[in-house]
Amino acid sequence: MRVLWTSPHTRPDWLDRLGEESQGGQTVVMNKLPHALSRIDPDLKIDIFTRLQDSDPRAGQPLKHLDDDPQVRLVRLRCGPTDRYVPKEFLYGEPITEFALGILDFAEREALRYDVVHGHYADGWETAAMLKARWPHHPPALLTTHSLGKRKRADGLTRGEGTAAELDKLYNFPVRIASEERSLVVADRILPLSTPEAEFLFDHYKAVPPGDPRVSVVPNGIDPTAFPPAAPGTRQRVRRDLGIDEEEFVLLIPSRVDPRKGQETMIQALVRAGERLEGQPYRLLLLAWPEPPTDYATRLKGLIADKGLEQRVLAHPPVAHDDMPEFFAAADAVILPSQEYFSIVMLEAMLLACPLVASVHGGSRDVIEDGVNGLLVDHNDIDQLAQAAVQMVTMDESARSEMGRHARQTILDAYTWDKVARRLLSLYAEV
């Protein structure tokens, strides 16, 4: 079987640069899941198409085997201007049309016939829908959500990220949502990452009526062998390098610094929890701090200073994906104060037995049993975030350790990449 994967904005070979230019959890999926598929099925061939950009340090090799996997190729093609970075929100229309035509030309030159096209994120959906329509054999199209425009818009409004007009201008939501609806009409399978996301599709997208049999939940996963615990002594070394004392409780937000990731809400929650945390030695560690600072990072810095939290909040630049176990080892708990559709970071933290706080509105609802292998909160509710922070900081160490052990077992039982890949292969076979 020959499968085409695409998401123009994602660079699957950028695992060492997570946190940059929309490179987050989806980048990990686009790298790890194809390798899991190829491990299971030696006859499977996967071509992943992404955009070409001159500033990309890997653009000099536009066609290559991803991580030297002979069954998985990465292909860079034009998708709009190559001389500057174009946010993914503005690739719809002409850029994606150019991109799809480039894929058609590539397939014709190499005499390739794809059995399945698999679009990831809305830009990949639009590409997949175009390809299905253009090829005479109309290959079945599968669409993996990663996020939904209507849901991101609603969440941004709830957080007070801006007015409806401001959000629509910044994230191009009207164009994205219209593109999503068109793509969903022609999809053969629709693959939300979680039950809450499936419910949102049923409730808010005209193209997906309640109970639509095309919808199958396919979560993200993790490879336990590729994300091992840090070596003994790592916790002490990393804390020493960060200037954190051993007795200080470290609450880690391992997300890129972005308004949608909830760092500002978390700082407000620490202020709300002030008296309850008074006398407790703790630090909030923010990873992936941008340099130079974005407008949002600058605003965060000002908020931290204004609330007198400079000694409590520590910002750190982005780190390579392979270095993340070191920071999980240095932390006592992890918090994701944002709506994560199905967070790879959640799986990584739980695999490494880190007690986790995550949103009840995301994929974490499928994974976390509140109070057993983590804590669930409404990420938009400052009081709930404050209470969760207090609960983690003041929890007995043995209880936190037990929560971490339950978290690790949950991942091993149901959320490895191989288990996810087998589910996806069965869907490929069905279509």
pLDDT at 197 over 80: yes
Q: Note the pLDDT tens digit of each residue in 213-245.
A: 999 999 999 989 988 999 999 999 999 999 999
In a shared domain, residues 160 and 73:
yes
Residue numbers of the domain that contains 166: 2-221+416-430
In a shared domain, residues 67 and 149:
yes
pLDDT for 12 = 94
CATH of the domain at 181: 3.40.50.2000
- What letter does residue 294 receive in the DSSP assignment? P
CA–CA dist 306, 318 (Å, integer): 25
Higher per-residue pLDDT: 60 or 195: 195
In a shared domain, residues 314 and 217:
no
Q: Note the pLDDT tens digit of each residue in 252-291.
A: 999 989 888 999 999 999 999 999 999 999 999 999 999 8
pLDDT for 414 = 93
Name the pLDDT band for 56 (thresholds 50, 70, 90): confident
Q: Note the pLDDT tens digit of each residue in 297-341.
A: 999 999 999 999 999 999 999 998 889 999 999 999 999 999 787
In a shared domain, residues 228 and 205:
no
Displacement of CA 161 from its chain's centroid (Å): 20
In a shared domain, residues 262 and 313:
yes
In a shared domain, residues 100 and 8:
yes
CA–CA dist 287, 291 (Å, integer): 12
Q: Note the pLDDT tens digit of each residue in 78-116.
A: 999 999 889 999 999 999 999 999 999 999 999 999 999
Q: Note the pLDDT tens digit of each residue in 358-395.
A: 999 889 999 999 999 999 999 989 999 999 999 999 99
200: tokens are 């949102």
CB atoms within 10 A of CB 84: 9
3-state secondary structure of 193: coil
Displacement of CA 229 from its chain's centroid (Å): 21
In a shared domain, residues 307 and 245:
yes
In a shared domain, residues 280 and 210:
no
Are residues 256 and 318 in contact, defined by beta-carbon separation less than 8 angstroms?
Answer: yes
In a shared domain, residues 28 and 7:
yes
Percent of the chain clearing pLDDT 70 (strictly above): 99
Are residues 97 and 79 in contact, defined by beta-carbon separation less than 8 angstroms?
Answer: no
Are residues 48 and 75 in contact, defined by beta-carbon separation less than 8 angstroms?
Answer: yes
pLDDT for 421 = 97
Nearest CA among 140, 142, 144 for reference residue 115: 140
Q: Given the structure tokens 């990584």, which residue do they identify?
A: 348
In a shared domain, residues 215 and 246:
no
* Count: domains in the chain: 2
pLDDT for 21 = 65
Please, where are the H alpha helices in 51-163?
94-109, 121-134, 149-159
